[in-house]
Amino acid sequence: MDPRPSPSAAVDAALRVIAEREPTIRAFAFLHEDRAREEARNAPAGPLSGITLGVKDIFDTADQPSEYGSAIFAGHRPRADAAVVAQLRAAGAVVLGKTVTAELAWVSPGPTTNPWRTTHTPGGSSSGSAAAVAAGMVDLAIGSQTAGSVIRPASFCGVLGMKATFGLLSTAGMKPAAPSLDTVGLMARDFDVLEAAWTALTGLDSSAGDGDPAYALVRTDLWDGADDDCKDIVERAAVRIGAVPRELPEVFGGLASELQTVQAFEGARALTWERHAYPELISEELREILDLGDRIETGTYLSVRRRAARARAPESLEALFGAADVIVTPAAVGEAPEGLASTGAPRFNRLWTLLGCPTLTVPGCLGATGLPIGVQLIARPYREAMLLGAGRRLAASFG
């Protein structure tokens, strides 16, 4: 990686890109140039010095509005930064602004467009984070994933996206969607930036992933739902890195679709205040999901949680991975869909989110119409260093 610019030079360069591209990309929910320049002048020296950061607008910031993509929270100003924002700032990163999120980190999208083709969705709910990184507006962005909200937009926008092991990165100061699923993620164009941020947040050395991991191609029971170009990209990637085909064990069958039960049940409860205090400010699409969550019986919810716990047990994960260190599978159904009314289907992300495994979107391939299609890598819990090393190898194989 080339030597980084000073924080002030990095911010000035980023603001020039934003001035050119933001009118059509619309990645930011809040941006104040003078505030960003002042933060750059006062940024502490650290491992992320010279790195510009976008923060998904479900993470609190003490010096900027945190509106969570909802009119309910218009003008809301928290008293403190979310934990991961504070950590990255302490490591020297400069927050340029708050990036657009789908409404309350659910499904109703904001105005953000895909930098590759502005008539297409950037994905969601971490829409602005993925688009800002892809457009060169920021070096690094924070996202969150409750179903597929980091991995899918990273694939659609052609950037790196990593969802951490569930619970490893703090969600303090993050607006909850479904607390047993909500996971912090990171997006970047460059592995060096992604790894530096990972180390700053965890204190773990990403070079621990050096070595030669073994790979398995797991098509899952949803494979036929992927577009043909996506299947071809994933299978060719598997050949390049020597991934051995492996069947999905029976304990995991159908489990991906059951994440929706957990998500809706917990979401209906996490958003109780919003639903009762401001029902007219919640979109019809989200209201329908939350109403469904209300109708789910607690026993049904707990049954899914118990099944997921069995799937996360060491013996089940051993059956899933076998001799492999890293699983290869689709990151999304295919290219970003046309239109901005939907953020795309998260079907290839749900299983791994429910299992709490760390996942990584690796860009480098284009689909049938020239839009990005990422490849998703999955590792055992707490093996992010292995995952990052495997991602570098796969990216290198793309040339």
Q: 166-191, pLDDT tens digit by residue?
A: 999 999 999 999 999 999 999 999 99
CATH assignment of the domain containing 179: 3.90.1300.10
Query: Is 278 inside a domain boundary?
Result: yes
In sequence order, the 6+-apart residues with CB closer than 8 A to the CB of 54 are 27, 28, 95, 96, 97, 98, 99, 128, 129, 132, 133, 137, 138, 140, 141, 142
- How many whole angstroms separate alpha carbon 246 and alpha carbon 321? 8
Provide the domain count of the chain. 3
Low-confidence ranges of the chain (pLDDT < 50): none
| Beta carbons of 177 and 146 less than 8 angstroms apart | yes
Q: 109-137, pLDDT tens digit by residue?
A: 999 999 999 999 999 999 999 999 999 99
Q: Are residues 182 and 229 in the same domain?
A: no
- How many whole angstroms separate alpha carbon 160 and alpha carbon 154? 6
Q: 344-383, pLDDT tens digit by residue?
A: 999 999 999 999 999 999 999 999 999 999 999 999 999 9
Final residue of a domain: which of 283, 309, 335? 309
Query: Is 2 inside a domain boundary?
Result: no
| Token pair 């051995």 in the structure block, residue | 244
Catalytic residues: 56, 125, 149
Q: What is the pLDDT of residue 205?
A: 87
Number of Cβ within a 10 Å radius of residue 22 = 18
Q: Are residues 229 and 180 in the same domain?
A: no
Q: For residue 224, what are the domain limits?
A: 208-253+314-397
Q: What is the pLDDT of residue 399?
A: 76
Q: What is the pLDDT of residue 2?
A: 61
Query: Is 356 inside a domain boundary?
Result: yes
Q: Are residues 376 and 324 in the same domain?
A: yes
Q: What is the pLDDT of residue 114?
A: 98
Query: Is 1 inside a domain boundary?
Result: no
pTM: 0.97
Q: Are residues 325 and 288 in the same domain?
A: no
- How many whole angstroms separate alpha carbon 130 and alpha carbon 161? 8
